[in-house]
Chains A and B, each alone.
Chain A
Amino acid sequence: MYAIAMSEMRSGKNFGAPGAEPADLLRLIAQNGDKSALSELFLLFGPKIKAVMLKGGASDALAEDLVQETMLTVWRKAALYSTERGAPSTWIFTIARNLRIDQQRRKSNRPHEDLAKVEIASDLPSGSVMVEQNQVISRVSLALQALPAEQQEVVRLSFINDIAHSEIATMLAIPLGTVKSRLRLAYERLRPLLEDLQ
């Protein structure tokens, strides 16, 4: 039954579908502790988070655990999320990233999470949501797809496959400086859009 629900979800519901906006689901979780909203969000993002974790080198079991931990953190911290702080996928990406780092380190020091606390305490949301949040993400996606292939490649290897710049250099047999300059060029191409979206 669960599998059927999932496949319906995949084929039938798009992110832009009314009533299924991830930002609305987060609001329902924050305000009402709404478990059906959590379920819907899980079906939207769980399979994507798992895919990213697998590409980052996690085993199937570990990827499943990281999906669970990510979504549980989303459930617990939904009240801290604000649409004015960014798109839900961005927020969920940062949670998943931080858990992936924690898992690799097995240590109590968490620079990324501490920084997130500083942001919540010090950075007021801009107060103006200029672009609807899912549009933000699809515009960034389009801009990423428009990058030259060699820039896309290093961006993906870094953000999705979780590979350090020096290892990317070794993999692609290019100097480390070339990896860094491709990333800088990619940012310069994306910059007008990213600045516009904030």
Chain B
Amino acid sequence: MTISHHPDMSTLMAFSAGTLDEPYAAVIATHLAMSSGGRAIARRLDLIGGALLNEEQDAELTPGALDRLLAATDRTQQPDEARPETDVPLPLAHYLPDGLTGAKWKWSGPGVAICDLPSSADTSRLMLLRVAAGRPVPEHGHGGHELTLILTGAYRDRFGVFGPGDIADHDEDVEHQPIAEMGADCICLVAVDAPLTFKSRLIRTLQPLFGL
């Protein structure tokens, strides 16, 4: 898979440091699962954490900590959970046990459907977005950091054509109007900031229709 659009380096550094909210971490992990070049960069960034850990001043451990560890090694190990068999990369598979075909889509405007994915974050949101071929991608509650990973199909905006594995990493100040390429539906994995809003669920549903 040739990836031509990559995450911002600062986003990859946050992933390596472990400070991204789960929706963003899920998008980056899925992107990296699709990009061997991206994984090579991520491994380089992990060296930063390794070096900082290595030079850390020792904290005092409680007496008996080593004995506790040695005792725990004797306990039987739980087997690794089975790898889900799906059509999506492993980091996404736990969110979509039945793969993309099993996604529960909700109509969200002409040619547009979304599927919210569960996550532990309450200030950001993870979802699938499906845009019919040739249709514009709606504004989806922009207003903060937005990560969009193309899973299938493609879209085009002023930054170029985004195909499977490509990621758009935008801050709130970026304006763009992606349009799904002809040929196939474009399915994206999206992480967005989801600050508490006073807008009702109905208005949020109508948002893509009326540009609210």
Q: Are B59 and A47 in contact (CB under 8 A)?
A: yes
Number of residue pairs spanning A and B whose beta carbons lie under 8 angstroms apart: 223
Residue B197 at the chain A interface, CB threshold 8 Å: no
A158→B68 CA distance, assembly (Å): 31
Q: Are A198 and B120 in contact (CB under 8 A)?
A: no
**Complex interface residues of chain B between 141 and 188 (CB less than 8 A to chain A):** 171
Residue A21 at the chain B interface, CB threshold 8 Å: no
A6→B67 CA distance, assembly (Å): 13
Q: Are A48 and B10 in contact (CB under 8 A)?
A: no
Q: Provide the residues of chain A in CB contact with B66, threshold 8 Å.
A: 2, 39, 42-43, 46
What is the interface of chain A, defined by CB distance below 8 A to chain B?
Answer: 2-3, 6, 10, 15, 35, 38-39, 42-43, 45-52, 54, 63-64, 67-68, 71-72, 75-76, 85-87, 89-94, 96-98, 100-101, 105-112, 114-115, 117-119, 122-123, 136-138, 140-141, 144, 155-156, 158-160, 162-165, 177, 179-181, 183-184, 187, 190-191, 194-195, 197-198
Spot the interface stretch: B40-48, B103-111, B129-137, B201-209: B40-48
Which residue on chain B has the smallest CB distance to residue A76? B77
A191→B119 CA distance, assembly (Å): 33
Known interface pairs A101-B18, A111-B91, A162-B18; A64-B61 also in contact (CB < 8 Å): yes
- Residue of A3, A89, A198 contacting most chain B CB atoms (<10 Å): A89
Top-7 shortest CB links A-B: A90-B50, A47-B58, A111-B29, A140-B51, A180-B10, A51-B59, A93-B49
Partner among A64, A75, A191 whose Cβ is within 8 Å of the Cβ of B73: A75
Q: Are A115 and B29 in contact (CB under 8 A)?
A: yes
Known interface pairs A89-B53, A92-B53, A118-B91; A165-B10 also in contact (CB < 8 Å): yes
